[in-house]
Amino acid sequence: MDHFIYHDGVLHAEDVNVAEIAAQVGTPFYLYSHSTLLRHFRLFDEALSWGPHLVCYAMKAASNQAILTALAAEGAGMDVVSGGEYARAKAAGVPGDRIVFSGVGKTVEEIRSALEGGIRQFNVESEPEMRAISQVATSLGVVAPIAIRVNPDVDAKTHAKIATGKSENKFGIPIARAREVYAEAAALPGLKIVGIDVHIGSQLTQLEPFEMAYNKVAELTETLRADGHEIIRLDLGGGLGIPYARSNEAPPLPTDYGALIQRTVGHLGCEIEIEPGRLIAGNAGLLVSEVVYVKNGEGRDFLILDAAMNDLIRPAMYDAYHDIVPVIEPEAAVETVPYDIVGPVCESGDTFAKAREMPPLKAGDLVAFRSAGAYGAVMASEYNSRPLVPEVMAKDDQFAVIRARPSFDEMINRDTVPEWL
């Protein structure tokens, strides 16, 4: 459920008219609903209310400071995957003891800054990384809390580019080698083992892969405890999917996911951490764009938008589907027509949808991509020298630009031409 609905024939974000925002901000732009973000966070928080837990928002999904600040105020932790994300979390007021640090390539500088600024735990992805963390911690005279990310070799049944829990993926250490690696971790001077971490992929639309992975984690917890390790936390990752096509998709609900966690690992008495990103931000954001031209092609009509693959790369990168709706509500009886919906970038891959049935549209009309809040703005680039599009947040009847559109001069002046040219 989200807070983007038609009122009086116009799409609204909460109580704000989307066409009015477009008139003030210009298109294209990302538009987030504050209530939707909070609602999704609370769904997870409530789904785990049967025991001690922390919901760590995977901020790579959408990391604007306003989004982080809103979630931090709700008590969210953060899952960060870079020094930049760590700095953003701290700047949003998230205390270090609510930040977990994931990612396969943490550098010595990133490890040091997290240890200095405070960290709940590092999710360790390899033995060399484990040794590096121990070394940095020892040099600073501190002990680094760690969980080791195990790769359970489970098929997440999702798009290949976002599956992470199979043995061929670069993530974690094979679960079969976990005992050996935990034994080495326990012997390193700068580390304190606090738990086990697992994350098998993104946009999962079934619970079975989670169930298989969590059962393996439960078994491993008992084994590691028998080996003498103290396992007080289980970080179960993110990955719960969202309905991108409202008409025919119904992925599992956070409540069912929470119940599954209780069923599989609840008896172990561990504190539970989860790292949802997409489900918190995805349906809390739109990308709003204007039709530049309707072009009659050979056997098809093209809807050419002012948004492009550099603004929203998911269709080009993951063959992703997004619902695209007119901002002005179409008449119920209107006959739809098929459009190929494309952007202006000089690549055929800059295609958002093919033969998409839409009400007839004309130049100047506004459309909104639904479910664009996660992996949208954060993956944008300035390809074709198209400045990053602004981000806007709506809350009740107010809205604010939370990242301004750079001018061409601002974009150009980030480059430096050497004197010797």
Residue numbers at the binding site for ligand PLP (CB under 6 A): 58, 60-61, 79, 102, 199, 202-203, 237-239, 275-279, 374
- Look up tokens 């990302």; give the residue: 30
Element (H, E) at 178: helix 178-187
Q: For ligand PLP, give the closer residue by CB, 17 or 202.
A: 202
- Look up tokens 């080495």; give the residue: 184
270 among known catalytic residues: no
- Look up tokens 């769904």; give the residue: 43
Q: For ligand PLP, give the closer residue by CB, 212 or 345.
A: 212
Strand partners, 293: 304
Dihedral sign for Cα atoms in the order 303, 28, 280, 86: positive
Fill in the DSSP letter of residue 363.
Answer: T
Q: For ligand PLP, give the closer residue by CB, 11 or 200.
A: 200
- Look up tokens 């966690």; give the residue: 261
314 and 375 Cβ atoms separated by less than 8 Å = yes
Q: Shortest gap between Cβ of 134 and ligand PLP (angstroms)?
A: 21
Q: For ligand PLP, give the closer residue by CB, 32 or 339.
A: 32
239 labelled binding-site residue: yes
318 labelled binding-site residue: yes
Q: For ligand PLP, give the closer residue by CB, 21 or 147.
A: 147
Catalytic residue among 187, 333, 346, 417: 346
Q: Shortest gap between Cβ of 238 and ligand PLP (angstroms)?
A: 3
Helices (H), 322-395: none
365: left (phi over 0), alpha (psi -120 to 50) or beta: beta
The rounded distance, in Å, linking the Cα atoms of 253 and 417 is 53
Q: Shortest gap between Cβ of 105 and ligand PLP (angstroms)?
A: 12
Q: Shortest gap between Cβ of 81 and ligand PLP (angstroms)?
A: 6
Buried b (16+ CB within 10 A) or exposed e, 243-279: bbeeeeeebbebeebbbbbeebbbebebebbbbbbbb
Q: Shortest gap between Cβ of 102 and ligand PLP (angstroms)?
A: 4
- List of residues 6+ apart from 269 with CB closer than 8 A: none
Which residue numbers are catalytic?
346
- Which residue ranges make up the annotated binding site for pyridoxal 5'-phosphate? 239, 275-278, 375
